[in-house]
Amino acid sequence: MSEWRDAKNRQALARLNRALPEIFPAPVLTHALARSFIPPMPRLAIDSYWRAHPVRADRLARVLAAQSGAPDGWVWRLGAAKPDGLPPTFRAPPAPYREKRFARGRGACCVCGQPVYRFGWHCDLWGEGPNKQAMWHTACVVAWQLWSAPSHYARPLRRFQKHKCAETGKRLMRAAEVDHRVPLFQVWREQRDTSWPQLLRYWGVPNLRVINRAAHVAKSAEEAGLRALGKAAAASDFTSP
């Protein structure tokens, strides 16, 4: 097995070295060479780097989004009509540049609105200008996946919390679950006017935590009670304005 892997890695390294441009982000290369299977292409090396660092990807995506700011006239709205690009529920992260009306077109990232360069990188290390084919930063792809399905990122989030339950401080059990500190229904109901991209903090690591199941069940029951109370008071809050 290890001989086979060594042979594969020699081949992959040779391919990577051939394809590698003179300038390449050093941490990405270090990460690639330390993988048990070396990514054979620069693009795959960058992808592998961000997948291994979702917490960093989340932070970067929000920093880039802050450079763009929200487009004039944008408000967080929901909509079932796909052609508009509006998110169907309050669970989806608000993303103005994914909406048809505000999209910046090819060469700009649909998550943060900033230019996308070679290999989906976020700075123009090569002085070539934006990559006119690209519509996502590689970091923003990972951030978007984390925001949309945080439970898939339980492992790095557990590591980020040093394996302690965010609710009780006890060691995280195997069945621990990822939870939003401020539930997203409450964000839609009470924080809807927060400016973008500050809103994204509610989907990102600042609002995510891993807690033991028992603590999670208790919190979910409390939220269900809150929701039922709120529903009676403001039934229209969950529908699109």
What are the residues binding Zn ion (CB under 5 A)? Answer: 109, 111-112, 137, 140
CA distance 162 to 168: 13
Element (H, E) at 177: strand 177-180
- How near is the Cβ of 197 to Zn ion at its closest, in Å? 11
CA distance 59 to 44: 21
- How near is the Cβ of 137 to Zn ion at its closest, in Å? 4
Provide the b/e sequence for 91-106 (b: ≥16 CB within 10 Å): ebbbbbbbbeebbbee
Question: How many residues appear in the chain?
Answer: 241
- How near is the Cβ of 95 to Zn ion at its closest, in Å? 10
The half-sphere exposure of 115 on its side-chain side, counting CA atoms within 13 A, is: 11
Identity of the residue, 48 or 212, whose beta carbon is nearer to Zn ion in the bound complex: 48
Identity of the residue, 8 or 132, whose beta carbon is nearer to Zn ion in the bound complex: 132
Tokens found for residue 12: 């992959």
Closest CA to 139 of 203, 45, 68, 51: 51
Identity of the residue, 48 or 68, whose beta carbon is nearer to Zn ion in the bound complex: 68
Tokens found for residue 229: 């109370």
Identity of the residue, 38 or 111, whose beta carbon is nearer to Zn ion in the bound complex: 111
Identity of the residue, 113 or 183, whose beta carbon is nearer to Zn ion in the bound complex: 113
* Cβ 176 vs Cβ 158: under 8 Å: yes
Tell me the residue number closest to Zn ion, measured at CB: 109
Residues sharing a CB contact under 8 Å with residue 87, sequence separation 6 or more, in sequence order: 78, 79, 93, 94, 95
- How near is the Cβ of 130 to Zn ion at its closest, in Å? 12
- How near is the Cβ of 102 to Zn ion at its closest, in Å? 14
CA distance 42 to 40: 7
Identity of the residue, 65 or 165, whose beta carbon is nearer to Zn ion in the bound complex: 65
Identity of the residue, 65 or 176, whose beta carbon is nearer to Zn ion in the bound complex: 65
- How near is the Cβ of 68 to Zn ion at its closest, in Å? 9
- How near is the Cβ of 227 to Zn ion at its closest, in Å? 33
